Chain A
Amino acid sequence: MTNIAKSENTDMNMSSGPFVDVANTPKQQRAPKARVTAQNVNVFYGQKQALFDVCVDVPDRSVIAFIGPSGCGKSTFLRCLNRMNDTIEGCRVEGDIKLDGQDVYDPKIDVVELRARVGMVFQKPNPFPKSIFENVAYGPKIHGLATNKTELEEIVVTSLRKASLFEEVKDRLHEPGTGLSGGQQQRLCIARAIAVSPEVILMDEPCSALDPIATAKIEELIDELRANYTIAIVTHSMQQAARVSQRTAFFHLGLLVEEGPTETIFTAPNDKRTQDYVTGRFG
């Protein structure tokens, strides 16, 4: 609960802080409203509890970074948000997670629709063994977003453009997606997620398998996507969190230790553990 209260205060700070996109239209200058709210989330793998009473808000049209030592539950929390944990045998989620005020774990909710609204990009680029075109067209086809071929092509091209990949692959849309470089594959996966017009995009260490140049490209892309999407990114790199996110949440041993504007977390954290982590004393 204290986390919630804190985050509301800091939202105010944030609008005057250096991390607000000044170029943005006035409608975004008001305090970001929460897109996803999570309260008292507990996650269990069998008997083992992996998350303890986590409360976080993911603000609309901005980037929130989840940092923390490995095994602290960042991925677990991220996967709660689009119910990817459902596919894991023995995983149980308790608590209250809402997307636009709608309970994500409501038994009546359609998971298929939820996952269309909350897209996901994984740690290792995982394009399907299909052509570049088919990779991006996969989601729209499943959800019936295009009524004819031209519409489908339009969606594919727009998505590839938004993922800054179109120029590089426009001559080989029908070659296998697995033939691209690692960074291109990851941008293909982002295009694939964008193609179903999600509101929220979850990224689980999207750059951990990439070289620095490809990483820089993805970070740049994330910064562009922020204008239209709500993004939650897990990263093990504190520099990356500092570069791309407006808010940062620090996890430790299944607890959400601290959450706030990125600058505050890195320069003046409240908690000793955060301090130790961001200054590289453990992790």
Chain B
Amino acid sequence: MRKLALSDEILMTVEKPARYIGNEINAVMKDAQAVDIRFAMCFPDVYEIGMSYLGIQILYDMFNRRDDVWCERVYSPWIDLDKIMREQNIPLFALESQDAVRDFDFLGITLQYEMCYTNILQVLELSRIPLLAEERTEQHPLVIGGGPCSYNPEPIADFFDLFYIGEGETVYDELFDLYKEYKKAGRTRAEFLRRAASIPGIYVPSMYEVSYNEDGTLAAFTPRYEDVPAQVEKQVVMDLDHVTYPKAPVVPFIKATQDRVVLEIMRGCIRGCRFCQAGMIYRPTRQKDAESMKEYARAMLENTGYEEISLSSLSSSDYEQLPELVNYLIDLCSEKKVNISLPSLRIDAFSLDVMSKVQDVKKSSLTFAPEAGSQRMRDVINKGLTEEVILEGAGKAFEGGWNKVKLYFMLGLPTETEEDIKGIAHLSQKIAERYYEIPKERRVGKCQITASTSFFVPKPFTPFQWASMNTEEQFLEKAKIVKQEVRAQINQKSIKYNYHEADVSVLEGLLARGDRRVAKTILEAYRNGALFDAWSETFRMDAWKKAIESTGTDMNFYVHRERDLGELFPWDFIRIGVTKDFLKREWENAKQGKVTSNCREKCSGCGAAKFGGGVCYEG
């Protein structure tokens, strides 16, 4: 039996010891002596969150198919264990072998949201790897980042040796082969990094020089050497039907956030909402074949024993073979007594019919994401969801027995007026009215509408990357307007309103569009005790405030000012396919309230067609 890295005494002291013991069904065990590369794959948040993330399962499966690689998992120890590990000097370990991470060849860290950045530092520190890449030596693992936040890697560039930009399935093999070759030949870390920088999609921050203008904006971003490319190409998989997908994902013992089989049906989104980063960086939209999805669904259920299956995509209703796949799943799941959950479905006749078959109407709720309260505002953000469509969908659902509705909105969108803000309350009211149009005897009690607002954070590689972001005070003022307006509605008793924290959103704004200089703010905040910033129970604004002050970080510069159209952005060296010209055009369209067709209606020439496939070539 494996020896655990933590003693019984420690495991019995901490909350949920199952987070740290590994040994799960489908976890991959190998002989450490028999592999060339040991890879620690880390999600810098607590186990239950990290285990729910599909991307890691895909790479874990793919890496472990190689006989010469053993990929293991690492998560952030929760604050209780964090404290013990520091007190007792216990190095961070990987779950499978329970061996110390610092003895691995690679530490891969997936970057899913900005508010995990202090956890990266925790993982490095507990692993006893120097926080700054420049202080690492031949003895330390190569620290590689990937995932959506690596599309602006600059605020955390100092902490990483390299980044992988794009979908993981394409060049990892090349990277591993190169590493093996260099390791065998006894070449240095610096030599390896220099050579790796020319693999497409690989970004090695230390190979680039950055200079700034007097006003603080970026002046130039240039490779230090001739053989290092000036731009890094995003990696995309054009043939999704022939890449590996985990048929036997690891099944945690404790309940994870995603406690189900997750079937990825599509990458990318045809819609082009202007606030949405995923909608741009994952272009072009590529669908997977329903036939192979059916096979995967069956195999994954049989290999995991999960009692639920869910489809994953940015907008499942746009998956063309959805009816065929869903009908198959309904049969399969009734045979296997498995539940189906179908998030991100547009509410229409088809989805209501499906939902009434797979869930208890009385208990479930409808979800709409209008994102903005007024039609004007929805045109600005290019959200093609109209009031009629929402009311029609809600009406049909109410007739079908539903009475709970969840609505998601954003506050602080560019050009927003008080009328737009109040529109959130008005739309909620109209939905309530639609419910009470149903004759009393056919209603199932009161309707319950929950309107939630988050605060808009401008993201790189979106048409809103130039936009100014509101201050905390402005956000809270706007939330207050919504609250009051909801109270002023006739059916206010049927409407519940809640909003996301404003202070954390502003920080997210800093980290999303920051440059290399923001690294010292993150480091300082971490030194001040910031950790698990994505958790309201552990988030410490004071630690961040102090860091922002002591490092002289200019929040207006990074967050609140509107950027100039000619400004060079820290992330401009990454080529995502979608061009800056297209984004500029969309920013202009937004300001004029002009909507842009989705990719299936009409191509807008965003640039992603250069990848030679997907929705750009469907017609």
Whether both chains belong to one complex is answered with no
A residues near B, CB below 8 A? none
